[in-house]
Amino acid sequence: MKIRDIFHLLAGRTLCLLCGSFDYDSLHMGLCRDCLSELEKESLLGNGETRNCRCCGIRLLSEMDLCTECRRYPTNQRNMALFSYHGKAGDLIQFYKFQSEKRLYLFFAGQIDRALRHESLIDYALLPVPPSRKKIFKTGWDQMELIGSELKRLGWPLIHPLAKKEGLSQKKLSREEREREIIGRYYLKRSKKGLPEKIILLDDVYTTGATLRECTRILKAEGAEDVRSLTIARD
């Protein structure tokens, strides 16, 4: 037994977050084997049965290759989403983001690693979208960076060229307000190192895609040629 497992045992954290059953595997990741295999079936990537919008990554029900939203608001963003933001995966994201169930970073990083390899996107640098300093101060941790650190351990190049300025929370804004408010909220940190040509932005949830489009615009203006994004969920 590893030291971190003893810690989880002492803290009473031995149960699956989703179904509450006891499973030794829950100790390190918070999920039992049954729920893990259910989640893999819900996955939108690496699962030959689903067709996804090529711009936002949402699961498509029609034969079109773009969803109604991306037809209505055309975008050049190329986003992949691991899951829809409902069902078991939606619950997990809520546990991770709002209840600080940090051990889920192992599950999310593993899923991202698997999806990128499945899509043959192996020569990209990964860039976790940075939160504002205010958010880190409030929550005490950086959710996407923790996932990024595990991806780095798995061998992916991790880069941090962007920073975020303080501003209004985007949560209650309309689509148009989000698009306006996001301009200028991110900037490139001063660095002598150039950007890699191929970058994948990592973020938690794709809602309107405004943040990812703005980060993509900045990176491309600075010379990155191929900028895509991957989110844990598509809302």
Cβ(206)–Cβ(77) below 8 Å:
no
Within 10 angstroms of residue 71's Cβ, the number of other Cβ atoms is: 11
Residues pairing with 33 in the sheet: none
Structure tokens at 72: 């209505």
Q: Which stretch binds Zn ion (CB under 5 A): 19-27, 40-48, 109-117, 182-190?
A: 19-27
Reading phi first (left if > 0) and then psi (alpha if -120 to 50, else beta), residue 57 is in left
Site for Zn ion contains 81 (CB under 5 A): no
Site for Zn ion contains 39 (CB under 5 A): no
For residue 216, give the nearest of 232, 234, 198, 233 by alpha carbon: 198
Contacts to Zn ion from residues 47-66, by CB under 5 A: 53, 55-56
Q: CA-to-CA distance for 206 and 210, rounded, in angstroms?
A: 9
Site for Zn ion contains 104 (CB under 5 A): no
Site for Zn ion contains 44 (CB under 5 A): no
Q: Which is nearer to Zn ion, 70 or 202 (CB)?
A: 70
Contacts to Zn ion from residues 137-176, by CB under 5 A: none
Q: Which is nearer to Zn ion, 55 or 146 (CB)?
A: 55
Structure tokens at 194: 């150039």
Closest distance to Zn ion from the beta carbon of 179 (Å): 16
Site for Zn ion contains 233 (CB under 5 A): no
Closest distance to Zn ion from the beta carbon of 127 (Å): 21
From candidates 29, 35, 202, 232, binder to Zn ion by CB under 5 A: 35
* Rg of the chain taking only CA atoms, in angstroms: 18
Site for Zn ion contains 92 (CB under 5 A): no
Q: Which is nearer to Zn ion, 19 or 205 (CB)?
A: 19
Site for Zn ion contains 18 (CB under 5 A): yes
From candidates 19, 60, 106, 173, binder to Zn ion by CB under 5 A: 19
Q: Which is nearer to Zn ion, 38 or 113 (CB)?
A: 38
Whole-angstrom CA distances from 139 to 135, 156, 182 are 6, 26, 21
Three-state SS sequence of 153-194: HCCCCECCCEEECCCCCCCCCCHHHHHHHHCCCEEECCCCCC
Q: How many binding residues for Zn ion (CB under 5 A)?
A: 10
| Angle CA 7–18–5, to nearest 5 | 15
Q: CA-to-CA distance for 132 and 193, rounded, in angstroms?
A: 23
Closest distance to Zn ion from the beta carbon of 184 (Å): 25
Q: Which stretch binds Zn ion (CB under 5 A): 8-16, 104-112, 140-148, 172-180?
A: 8-16
Residues within the interface to Zn ion (CB under 5 A): 16, 18-19, 32, 35, 53, 55-56, 67, 70
